[in-house]
Amino acid sequence: MKLTFLGAAREVTGSSYLLEADGVRFLVDCGMFQGGRETREKNRRAFNFDPATIDFVILTHAHIDHSGLLPRLVALGFRGAIHATRASCDLLAVMLPDSAHIQEKEAEYANLNRFRQGMAKRDAARGLPPRDTAPLYTVAQAQASLKRLNAVDYDLEIAPHPQVRCTFRDAGHILGSAIVEVWVGEGARRRKIVFSGDLGQPARPLLRDPTPIFEADYLLVESTYGDRDHKSMEATQDELVEAINDTIERKGGNVIIPAFAVGRTQDMLYLLADLTRQARIPKLSVFVDSPMATAATEITFRHMELLDAETHALMGRHGGAAHFRKLEFVEDVEESKALDRIAGGAVIISASGMCEAGRIKFHLRANLPRRDSTILITGFQAAGTFGRRLVDGAKRVRLLGEDIPVRADLYTLGGLSAHADRSALLAWLGHFRSRPRQVFVVHGEDSVATGFAADLQRQFGWDAQAPLPGHSVVLD
């Protein structure tokens, strides 16, 4: 049996693992690399195999860094089933076409820019064929990939191949996220491989805690925050209360919240409703201005059975609307533009979470120059992103072709990560009753993954390593 680490090896995107054994070849995850310009080529050459030879795919969850290359896999010849939880399938129906739309727009922009620079004309004058940039995949190809999905329930064993059985366990990361237990082979040759996927932080809003796993022959565990712990939820709530009350009650301005459409938007709605219930903040006028966030919220409340008891008690079937003065999900573009004419008292939640695209840019343009408004950063801001420039203290920014002064207050909430921190990872691993034969630390930056592997060697006495990208290992 051979395991190859195609992505998320000493990095945090591009999750994908190829397992080959006894005449079966399958992938666990098929994620897109995300980040700077260099990732474009990585995504185009991500498959060092013929997709037609892959029997099936097991998907841990719907985040694009785990699912985003599925349309390309199908477009290049894959004809098997993609097994994922029911909630993941529902999210993919929204997220993959949206990802494809972004790919098409980026290709369109690249070609237009190339034309403006005269490169296309020079090629034509030299008799060279057109070199237009093609999208990584199209909306039509994304829609085609959705037809390969097979919805699976948690905790029910399936057999995607005569040589393979697997079970999806709740990972508590985002809606539908799963830890996958995989058994390969029969009899004395059967081996159990556990893929942690992305593990959630225990005792967080909305979702249940990650399911404990007790044994495995081989384990792949994520390490995104393997080197540090998150701020406590109590401290995070205190920061949120201060930001809301200072802006809405004292200054009379607006609160602008860049938030990831899947997960973070729903977390914010829960927290705002809960803090209102506790009378720590006033009843608010909240606008969710992101079509994808609206769709993800609808999907979340279609899967109430996956949410934790506290969420059931607080949100009920009305989605928490009773706790707000107003809760509006904005679809129409003109309605979105009208939000920027609100003088004060509005909380606007909009994508993208790192302020790189989407409607959030317009709300930032309208509110950044205002001393009475607040920008509330709720998640990690990668180097080079617009959100990172704000966090780093930029006094002026270039936005939508305009030079904008930054006068609004900036708050950052540090305790809302959907990933388990170092302590939570170690606690989850502590449930194992026996030592795995080998442990592979994945989905972490180089220094974090290698450091966490060394920690597991010291603390548990495990044979742990952080594999390199493209590395293959033979599993006995």
In the chain the domains, ranked by start, together with CATH numbers, are 2-228+419-474 (3.60.15.10), 233-412 (3.40.50.10890)
Q: What is the pLDDT of residue 353?
A: 83
* pLDDT surpasses 70 at 319: no
Summarize the confidence of residues 387-399 as an average pLDDT: 92
Which pLDDT score, from 0 to 100, does residue 115 have? 66
Q: pTM for the full model?
A: 0.89
Q: Please, what is the Cα angle at 83 between 82 and 84, to 5 degrees?
A: 115
| Cα 174 to Cα 163: distance, rounded to the nearest angstrom | 30
Question: What contacts 24+ positions apart, CB below 8 Å, involve 303-310?
Answer: 303/86, 303/87, 303/90, 303/175, 303/176, 306/87, 306/170, 306/175, 306/176, 306/207, 306/208, 307/206, 307/207, 307/208, 308/205, 308/206, 308/207, 308/208, 308/209, 310/205
Which residue has better confidence, 199 or 304?
Answer: 199
Q: Which residue has the higher pLDDT, 351 or 157?
A: 157
Average pLDDT value over all residues in the chain: 92
Q: Average of pLDDT values for 252-259? A: 96
Q: How many Cα atoms within 13 Å fall on the side-chain side of residue 145?
A: 34
The two tokens of residue 116 are 């403006």
Selected residue with higher pLDDT from 264 and 426: 426
Task: Judge whether residue 103 has pLDDT over 70.
Answer: yes
DSSP secondary structure letter of residue 200: P
Q: Which CA distances in Å does 56 have to 81, 121, 363, 385?
A: 5, 44, 43, 35
Q: Beta 178-184 vs 191-195: how paired, if at all? A: antiparallel
- Decide if pLDDT at 382 tops 80: no
Listed in sequence order, the residues at least 6 apart from 146 whose beta carbon sits closer than 8 Å to its beta carbon are: 92, 93, 96
Q: Which residues contact 285 (CB under 8 A, 6 or more apart)?
A: 324, 325, 326, 345, 346, 347
pLDDT at 120 over 60: no
The whole-angstrom separation of Cα 456 and Cα 429 is 9
CA distance 191 to 169: 18
What percent of the chain is modeled with pLDDT above 90?
76
pLDDT of 417 reads: 85
pLDDT value for 105:
84
Q: What number is the average pLDDT over the span 287-311? A: 91
pLDDT digits (tens, 9 = 90+) for 224-250: 999 999 999 999 999 999 999 999 999
The answer on pLDDT for 81 being more than 60 is yes
pLDDT greater than 80 at residue 117 = no
Instruction: State yes or no: pLDDT of 128 exceeds 60.
Output: no
| Strands annotated E in 63-148 | 81-85
CA separation for the pair 406, 92 (Å, rounded): 36
DSSP 6-69: EESSSSSS--EEEEEETTEEEEEEEPPP-SSTHHHHHHHT--SS-GGG--EEE-S---HHHHTT
What's the rounded mean pLDDT across residues 144-172? Answer: 98
Task: Give the type of residue at 396.
Answer: R
Whole-number Å distance between alpha carbons of 181 and 216: 8
pLDDT digits (tens, 9 = 90+) for 266-296: 999 999 999 999 999 999 999 999 999 999 9
What is the band of 36 on the pLDDT scale with cuts at 50, 70, 90? low
3-state secondary structure of 474: strand
pLDDT at 410 over 70: yes
pLDDT of residue 159: 98
Region for residue 183 given its phi and psi (left: phi exceeds 0; alpha: psi -120 to 50; beta: otherwise):
beta
Q: Nearest Cα to 32, choosing from 57, 62, 10?
A: 62
Q: Is the pLDDT of residue 131 over 70?
A: no
Closest CA to 411 of 284, 262, 256, 261: 256
Tokens (6 digits) for 157: 């064993």
pLDDT for 288 equals: 96
Q: Are strands 326-329 and 285-289 parallel, antiparallel or unpaired?
A: parallel
Q: What is the 3-state secondary structure (H, E, C) of 224-271?
A: CECCCCCCCHHHHHHHHHHHHHHHHHHHCCCEEEECCCCCHHHHHHHH
Whether residue 158 has pLDDT greater than 90: yes
Give 476: exposed, middle or buried? Use CB within 10 Å, 0-12, 13-18, 19+: exposed
pLDDT band for position 39 (50/70/90)? confident
> Which has more confidence, 188 or 113?
188
Tokens 């930029």 sit at which residue?
394
Greater confidence (133 vs 123) lies with: 133
Q: Tens digits of per-residue pLDDT, 199-220?
A: 999 988 889 999 999 999 999 9
In the numeric block, the tokens 């369109």 are attached to 108
Predicted confidence band at 196 (pLDDT cuts at 50, 70, 90)? very high
pLDDT at 199: 97
In this prediction, residue 312 has a pLDDT band, given cuts at 50, 70 and 90, of confident
Peptide bond into 67 cis (omega under 30): no
Please determine, for residue 375, whether its predicted confidence score (pLDDT) is greater than 90. Answer: yes
